[in-house]
Amino acid sequence: MGKKKITNEWKRHRVQILWALLTNSYLIGFVQGKIYKGKLKNLCVPGLNCYSCPGAAGTCPIGAMQAVIGNWNFKFAFYAAGFLVFVGALMGRFVCGWLCPFGLIQDLLYKIPFPRKLRTFKGDRLLRKLKYVVLLFFVILLPMFLVDVLGQGAPYFCKLICPVGTLEGGIPLVLLNKSMHGALGWLYAWKNVLLLFTVFLSILIYRPFCKYICPLGAVYSVFNPISVFRYRIDREKCVGCGACAKVCKMQVNPAENPNHPECIRCGQCKKACPQQCIH
């Protein structure tokens, strides 16, 4: 049983790795210290993947949203919002579980042994609402209203919070470009501290960034209950044993709500169910 579970989780990880490689396929960028400038960057990718990563072949939807909202010419990002509605309506947080490179990194970090892993804690439920606040303030309101003399807003989530940009873009680009060394300052230090903190927390807690901070997860979570791809429970077969809730690392009880906003569709509950009543 244990062995089967581990094998099955690696099946999902293989999909995550393949998708991460596909969306970061400009591998020469990691050698040259440059980013891809081709036409594919017109397209958004579904997961959180910094477009300043040397390998990135597509555009981060959260970055794209801030870029357009912060542009003096627009003020609302129909393209990026439409993309998120489209992907969310089809898949919900399946993206988080299967197609997000930073989700994969957190999954792998959680496999590092630690004396005491934190499954939940006091205030966990409340802290999960923080990602909606991050989405509203740092992705939408601040780039919209906190603008310079030209009316341009900065991508505040990317600038002040996102550890993905530091990991995928900041560190490799600074290592590969000596010309950038002189420009490093408090912001770079701050973002590296945030990244280190996120890495440490990811060893301790399962996917802390997805649970508490990620604005992309916040958007997709809204679509979880109505997305085309979603779970269904065969109520006639369910014996209420609680095996699904016990195995869920996002602390969801699928028997009560199989399409809870926190569910990332990792499929562990389906495998754990002795009655095979989750479809």
Partner 1 sequence: MIRRLGEHKAGICLAALGLALMGYGIYRGEAAVCFQKAINICMECIGIG
Q: Is 132 in the site for partner 1 (CB under 8 A)?
A: no
**Gap between the Cα atoms of 142 and 183, Å rounded:** 25
Q: Is 63 in the site for partner 1 (CB under 8 A)?
A: yes
Q: Are 69 and 45 in contact (CB under 8 A)?
A: no
Residue span binding partner 1 (CB under 8 A) among the ranges 5-13, 94-102, 123-131, 226-234 = 226-234
Q: Is 55 in the site for partner 1 (CB under 8 A)?
A: no
Q: Which long-range contacts (CB under 8 A, 24 or more apart) does 40-43 make?
A: none
Q: Tokens in use for 80?
A: 């990026």
> Closest Cα to residue 258, out of 249, 247, 245, 271?
245
Nearer to partner 1 among residue 25 and residue 192 (C-beta): 192
Q: Is 214 in the site for partner 1 (CB under 8 A)?
A: no
Q: Is 90 in the site for partner 1 (CB under 8 A)?
A: yes
Residue span binding partner 1 (CB under 8 A) among the ranges 33-41, 115-123, 144-152, 202-210 = 33-41
Residue span binding partner 1 (CB under 8 A) among the ranges 17-25, 96-104, 112-120, 182-190 = 182-190
Handedness of CA 11, 15, 20, 26 (dihedral sign): positive
Rg of the Cα atoms in the chain: 19
Choose, by CB under 8 A, the member of 155, 208, 215, 217 that binds partner 1.
Answer: 155
Choose, by CB under 8 A, the member of 20, 48, 87, 95 that binds partner 1.
Answer: 87
Choose, by CB under 8 A, the member of 82, 240, 242, 274 that binds partner 1.
Answer: 82
Residue span binding partner 1 (CB under 8 A) among the ranges 54-62, 116-124, 134-142, 245-253 = 54-62
Q: Is 105 exposed, middle or buried (0-12, 13-18, 19+ CB in 10 A)?
A: buried
Q: Is 169 in the site for partner 1 (CB under 8 A)?
A: yes
Binding to partner 1 (CB under 8 A) within 227-246 occurs at 227-228, 230
Nearer to partner 1 among residue 118 and residue 189 (C-beta): 189
Binding to partner 1 (CB under 8 A) within 91-120 occurs at none
CB atoms within 10 A of CB 104: 20
Binding site for partner 1 (CB under 8 A): 35-37, 41-42, 44, 50-52, 56, 58-60, 63-64, 67-68, 71, 73-74, 77-90, 154-155, 158-159, 162, 165-166, 169-170, 173-174, 180, 183-185, 187-188, 190-192, 223, 226-228, 230
